Each structure stands twice: as C-alpha cells, then as structure tokens.
Structure 1
Amino acid sequence: MGMFAKLRGWFSKGSDPLIIDSPDKLAQVLGVSYETTAGQRVTTTSALQQTAVFNCVRVLAESVGMLPCRLYKQDGRDRLPATSHRLFSLLSVAPNGYMTSQEFWELLVACLCLRGNFYAYKVMALGNVVELLPINPGAVTPKLKDDWSVEYDVKFKSGERTLTQDEIWHVRLFTLDGLTGLNPIAYAREALGLGQAMDKHAAKLFANGAVTSGVLKTNEELSDEAFARLKEQFQGEHMGTANAYKPMILEMGLDWKPISLNLADTQFIESRKMTEAQICGLFRVPPHLVASLDKMTLNNMEQMGMSFVNYALVPILTRVEARIRVGLLSEQDAKTHFAKFNAGALMRGDLNGRYTSYGKGIQWGILSPNDCRELEDLNPREGGDIYLTPINMTTNPEAANADQTKA
C-alpha cells in the first residue's frame, strides 16, 4: 500500500479521522520509522509507559530540577552572585510567568532524554533575556545555512515562522552533525520495542488466566453437580489475596498439585530484567534508583550513587551551563559571567555527610564557619569569617623573607 493510500484510509468514510500534528502521529499513519523487529511501534509516549523508562527520566529530571542554578560574576579572583543581572532571577526563580525554575529544568532534562533536544523562545528587552518560553521539540526543525549561521523553522498555532539563533535557545545532547542532538529513544528503539512486547505479553498472559498456581487431580469422574460445587467453592473461598493460605477440604480422592515456574517462565523473567538493565544503561541511571535491587549491597550502592552524579548528572549540568553562557548572555557579559548548578544540594538529606565535609573544610582552611552556615541557610555569627591554617602545614616565614630580600 502506498503512502497516499494509507493517508486516504485514515480519512475514509466510516473511520475516525486522526489529526496529524506530530511526528509520532505521522509515523503511526504511515506505519514506518517507528516499527521495530519485535512488532512494536516505539514513540516517546509508548516508551514512557514502560516503568523503567519513566523512572529513569524522572530520576534524572528531578535530580537536576532540585539543584540551585545561580549566575555568578568573575571579579578578579572573586566570584560573586550576579543578583543585579536580569538573568539571575530567570535561572534561580522563574524563567517565565507560568513555570518555576525547578519545573523548567525538569522539562529541559526530560526533552533531552526523550527527544535529544530542548528549545526555548527568548523574549528580549533592552538586549537582555527577560523570559524563556519552552517549545515542543517536535515543532522545531534546525537548519545550517551556507554562511554557517543557524535557522529554526518553528510551527506555531498561528503558522510556521523562521527564527534565528538569537531568538531560540537550543540545548542538545551529543551530536553527529554539530546541530541536532541524537534522540536516545530513536536509537534504542529495538530494546524499547522488546520491552513493550514483553509488557504486552505479560498483561495478556494474566488477563487470559493462563497462569495458575496448581491443579486438582483425581482418578474418579466428577458429576456435573460435584464439578459445579467444587468450582463455586474455589472461586468463593480460595481465589484472591484475601483467601491466601486458607486450608482446603478435598473430596472424592482429589489431590492438589502445586505448579512452579517452568524454564520458559524463568527465562521470560530474566529477559525482562535484562531489558530493564539495558534501559538503565541507556540513561546511565543506577538500577537501585529505579527500584531494581538485584545484586545490590550497601557498598556498591554508594559507589553507584557517586557514579550517577559523575557520569549521568555532571554531563547534563555542564552542557546546560555552557549553553547558558553562549546562548543567554550577551557577548560582553559572557566574558565575566557564568552559571553554575550547586551539586552539593544532592547531599541535602545526608546530615552526617554534610557536617563531616564542613568539618574538614574548616580544618584545612578551605571554608570558614560562616561559609558553612550560609550553605545551611543560617545567619552568620560574629568571628565566623576566620579561615584556619593548621600549624604543621604553615610555610617558613623566615625563608620567605630571605627570598624576598635576595630578589
């Protein structure tokens, strides 16, 4: 069947019309691009219906969303919060009139995980960005012109417009052409399709009642009356979790034979675990963060938590920080200003870990007591701005003075 024949089929008399307003729906109509070897059509929506995908995206989005993002100004060796800059409140409070900064960063990470690209329209005033309005990635098509400038064809409700790089803020995942980020869902389509097929198979298996915990066996022939009474007894007294472990009264030589998982069932379970592990690897999320605790211990949980920060969150954070400096700051401000996520907020729930690190920071002169109190949202105390220096780590002042005299 040709492409136009398929389109006519959707709009033919007697069928419900489908409004094609996204690449997913177009692929659904044409039956191409999103089909996998497992016979499943993988889209962003269907991928999110898998609990492993939903949990991975949610963990990444919420982990980034809870980190404070501040704009700083470099003044010599001093780095001070640039509270007077218009971009400061956009990054730390609210980027627009209907979203908080947390919701905005969560949306950004979700778009990167599911589409590979995030786009936002920049509302400008007096040369500064005063508002960031997210755009559906499916409605944007970036183009690289012959003069190496970038244009974006954006489909708004009012019609299609072509915007420049000065009007669009674009954050992308790693790319092969330097322009469009690779879509993780598209490139992991086969693994996700296998997961969808397994979920559907398991659902149909239990819906059809093809799984049983045991059978009743007898060498005698049951009458229709006895069979009906036995069936009624089992359905009323031994089915459901509320009737679990109730004793059974068996007549006429009936014998209960429990049934355990066979080899095929065991292999099916192992295949589902393997698919979940592949999905966790796709997003670089440790399995214990998506409620998969197989082969997990306290030691490797701690190591995987550190790996999650270093290899899953930090690449996203540095990518966004770089795009803020390049795409949201003016050329002049970009020389002295930069944005930074405070990854220390990940230790917010670990009181003992925070206080231990504060103690070491004060001991070695890295932090002052007031620095630590500021991190804990406490008011400074008198005399708390002193930085300590261990006596056994000080330099020889006489030798330093002698060197200066010789010079």
Structure 2
Amino acid sequence: MLTGLAKWWLERKAVSFTSSWVEAIFAGAKANSGVQVSTNSALQQTAMLRAIMVKADISQIPLVLRRRQGKGAVDAADHYLYDMMLHQPNGWMDGVEWVRTTIMHFAATGQAISYRNIDRRGRIRELIPIRPECAAIDVNTMMEMEYTLQLENAHQVKCGRDQVFHFRGPSWDGFRGLDPVALGREALGLAQATEKSQAQLHQNGVRANGLFKLAGKPPQEEKDRVREMIAATYTGANAGRPILASDALSFEPLTMKGSEAETIQTRGFQIEEIARLQGVFTIMLGHAGDQSPTFASAEAFFGAHVRYTYQPLIRAFLAALNTQLLTREERAEGLHFEMDTSELLRGSLRDRAEYYKAAIGNASQPGWLTPNEIRIDDEWNEDPSPRMNQVQFPMTMRDAGEPPPPTTPPSPHAGA
C-alpha cells in the first residue's frame, strides 16, 4: 500500500510513473523481519548512507578531459567540455557536486541519470541530475531506450538515449541497473528491525537493569507511590543516579540477557552485510569488527579500497562519460576523460623521496624519469636548465650500437 507521501507525490507530479515503481522508492516492500524497506528507509541506515558516501568520495578526484599525445596525454583545455565537466556542469553545481550527486544516485539505486541540455550547435550546455524517483526507463518495440523525466520545475520531458547521460551499474537486462536496495532487502530490513528494537528499549530513558523490591505485601497505593517516586527520580534526565534503598525497599541488579547481547552483535553483523552489499571494506564505515587495525594494516586496507572499490567504479564511470558525452570522431582524435587515482595512493614524504631517488637514477642504475618530470609530478615549475630534461645514466653504460669509447694505448715505457 502506498504511503501518504507517495500518494501526494503521484498527485502533485501527475506523471505516468506506475504506483509500484514509486512505492519502491518511498514505501518499499516488507522484509521477513516485518519492516518496510525502501530506498528512503535504506538511506536512514547510517552504515548504508556511509557506504554510499564512501563511493561518492571519488568526487575529490578531478574529472579532466585529456587528449592523447604520443605515449602520454595533455589537458584538452581548448575543448568546451573541459571547463564544463571540471568546473560547472550546470548553472548551480560545480564539478565536485555533480560527480558526488551522480555517484550517490548510482550507489543507492543502481543508476544515475542526467538530462543533457543541448544548444543549437548540438553542444551540451548543461548536465542536469534527475532524482531517481523522477526518472522512468522504458524500452520500445524497436529495442530503443526511452526516458520520462520529471524536472524540478514540474515540466515533464520524454526523450531518447541521446538526450540523457545514463550511468548504470551491473545490469541483468542490459538496460537498467540492478537496485541494491531491492536485492539487499533482507539485510537492510534486519538492520532496521534491530535498530528499532534498541530504540524501543531506551525509549523511556531507563534500561531495565535492576529490580526494586518492597518488603512484605504492601497495598496497591504504596506500590503506586513507590513506582511514581522511581519514575521521577531515576528515569529520563535522572537516569543513572545513585539508588537509595531502605529496609522496606531494596534493589537487585539484573545481568544482561543473552538475547540483548545477541542483538548488539547482530547490529555489528548487519554493518558487515551492508558493506558487502555495497562492495566496500568495513573499515571504511568505521567498523573494524574484532580486529583493531594497526598503521600498517590500515594502509594496506586503504590501498585495497582504492584498487577494488574505487578503480572499478571509476573505470565504469569514465567509460560511460567517454561513450555518451564524446562523439566517435572525438574519441578517434584521442579525447578521453581521466580521473587520476595515483594521488590517493601516494605514500609519505619519505616513501616518495625513496621512489624519486630510484627514478632519477644513480651510479649503478639508470633512471626512468627526468628531474623536471619529478618536479611536475610534485606540482613544481620546470627548471629551464637542459640537464633537467635528461634521463640520467651511469657512466659505464652506453646506448645499443654506440661504439665503445676510445682507449689510450699503453706507453712503450710502461713496466720498464
């Protein structure tokens, strides 16, 4: 059954979206734990929200349009998409905000859609993110994708594949990304149920950690008086105050029940389930489990996080950008988008100094970087000296095919 919010949304928007589709966003479906799980309720789970934000943190890496030049590449600053995607994809968002919003939609619902505002020359003027609940995807009889978009100004737009940027996740039908909330409904539902049970346990501001006993068989009036005294003295803001007992009133502490301890453990397990659902390491969600990471293991975890979470996501994102925002001719010219993750893997100053020392070469080992390339890598200006653009080689080495240096004949008087 649709919630009041979903009914209001349907009536206000007056669009052709099916009620079952809107229900998946707002009301969701009931899990075996007995709670309704929807995209909206999933975002209220701190572990799920944090996992989504962790993925969206790729927005800290600049999205740059580059042009291949020889074996390397240079910034394509002369192309109109360079400034637009790096700084301002639309009139109210900067590049970081657009990437972050796009990845949040993608991680939460399995796909992200932006409307392409195109000018008379056929160029993209703006990329306008569409909320997942405001986009419907269909496939017509010609196997062409059709989109029905509800813009923030209440205008409805029906458009084709060439009028949107559609970044979808793993797909079963090849058109729509799989919805992680629908697939992980049971894990999210159990997380919601355990959180709700814990909240109800503390709802009155006091935990049932002890038993008050009255001596003898007091009348009901005395029981009511003592109950009101306890409620006024030891609950709410007074919870945790020292308990005073007399001969007529005693207090017996209660130990934690096994079921309560199991509930706390279950909450930890559900964080791991949500991390597994989103494909991130639990340490990135602030949950180390039974193992407290050391500096060395934390660094290894973060390196694995970049390689196994960020890089596959960035590769898929760049593939979508290259194929949807660039024409075939532009790609043939070597234009492509880049997000350099090497900055995330940079070590300490000491580690970088050791790497640069080996890269520049020494008396027994040839180098592979020039001093100016190292300066550029550290965002320093180039040194104009010609020697700063030369790779260093040991004095004993020479290029293949180069004749050996002339030798000085021995003196006829040598050894005399």
For normalisation by structure 2, the TM-score amounts to: 0.79
Alpha-carbon spacing, 1:149–1:347, altered in 2? closer, same or farther (3 Å): same
Task: After TM superposition, give the deviation of residue 231 of structure 1 in Å.
Answer: 6.3
Q: Structure 1, residues 292-337: CA drift from partner, whole Å, max 9, x if none?
A: 1322322432222122111111111001111111110122111111
Q: Relative to structure 1, is the Cα distance of residues 153 and 30 closer, same or farther in structure 2, using a 3 angstrom cutoff?
A: closer
Please tell me the residue identity of whatever aligns with 2:74: L
Instruction: Say whether 1:325 aligns with 2:322.
Output: yes
Deviates more, 1:165-174 or 1:256-265: 256-265
Which SS does the other structure have where 2:202 is aligned?
helix
Aligned to 1:19: 9
The answer to whether 1:343 aligns with 2:344 is: no
Q: Deviations over 1:100-125 (max 9, x none)?
A: 11111111111111111111122234
Matches within 5 A, 1:276-291: 276-291=271-286
| Alignment partner, residue 412 of structure 2 | none
1:229–1:205 Cα change, 3 Å: closer
Q: CA deviation at 1:81?
A: 0.7
Residue 76, structure 1, aligned to residue 70, structure 2 = yes
Structure 2 match to 1:52: 47
Q: Does 1:96 pair with 2:90?
A: yes
**CA-based RMSD:** 3.6
Deviation at 1:188, TM superposition (A): 0.8
Which structure 1 residue ranges, 5 or more long, are not aligned?
1-5, 403-407
Say if 1:218 and 1:254, in contact at 8 Å, map to a contact too.
yes
Alignment of 1:149-188 (within 5 A): 149-156=144-151, 160-188=156-184
Distance 1:75 1:201, change over 3 A: same
Give me the whole-angstrom Cα distance separating, in 1, the residues matched to 2:96 and 2:38.
26
Asked which structure has the greater RCO (Cα within 8 Å, sep 6+), the reply is 1
The letter for the 2-side match of 1:400 is G
Distance in 2 (CA, whole Å) between partners of 1:179 and 1:29 is: 18
C-alpha contact (below 8 Å) 1:24/1:43 kept by paired residues: no
Q: Contact 2:27–2:38 at 8 Å: present in 1 too? A: no
Q: Give yes or no for the alignment of 1:198 onto 2:219.
A: no
> How far, CA to CA, are the matches of 2:25 and 2:280 in structure 1?
34
Distance 1:209 1:76, change over 3 A: closer
CA–CA distance in structure 1, aligned partners of residues 125 and 9 of structure 2: 35
Aligned to 1:334: 331
Aligned mate of 1:135, from 125, 130, 133: 130
* Shift, 1:291, TM fit: 1.6
Q: 1:379 aligns with which of 355, 378, 381?
A: 381
Equivalent pair of 1:60/1:109 in contact (CA under 8 Å): yes
Give the deviation of 1:51 after TM superposition: 0.8
8 Å contact from structure 1 (residues 284, 308) kept in 2: no
Q: Conserved in 2, the CA contact under 8 Å of 1:347 and 1:353?
A: no
**What is the SS of the residue equivalent to 1:211?**
coil
Contact 2:204 2:235 in 1 (8 A): no
Residue 400 (structure 1) aligned with residue 401 (structure 2): yes
Q: Gapped runs of 5+ residues in structure 2? A: 404-416
- For 2:286, the aligned partner's letter is A
Corresponding letter in the other structure for 2:35: Q
Is residue 214–residue 248 contact of structure 2 (8 Å, CA) maintained in 1? yes
Which residue does the alignment assign to 1:43? 38
Secondary structure, in 3 states, of the residue corresponding to 2:37?
A: coil
Q: Measure how far apart 1:247 and its partner are.
A: 5.3
Alignment of 1:184-333 (within 5 A): 184-208=180-204, 211-217=207-213, 219-220=215-216, 228=225, 232=229, 235-236=232-233, 244=240, 248-252=243-247, 255-294=250-289, 295-298=291-294, 299-333=296-330
CA distance in 1, matches of 2:26, 2:320: 36
Rg (Cα) greater in structure: 2
CA separation in 1, counterparts of 2:103 and 2:66? Answer: 22
Report which stretch shifted further, 116-125 or 355-364. Answer: 355-364
How far is 1:203 from its partner? 1.3
| Partner SS state of residue 285, structure 1 | coil
Which residue is 1:34 aligned to? 29
Distance 1:310 1:40, change over 3 A: same
AA aligned to 2:194 is M
Q: Which amino acid aligns with 2:60?
A: M
Residue 46 of structure 1 deviates from its aligned partner by: 0.4
Identify which range, 249-258 or 103-112, moves more after superposition. Answer: 249-258
Q: Report which stretch shifted further, 364-373 or 269-278.
A: 364-373
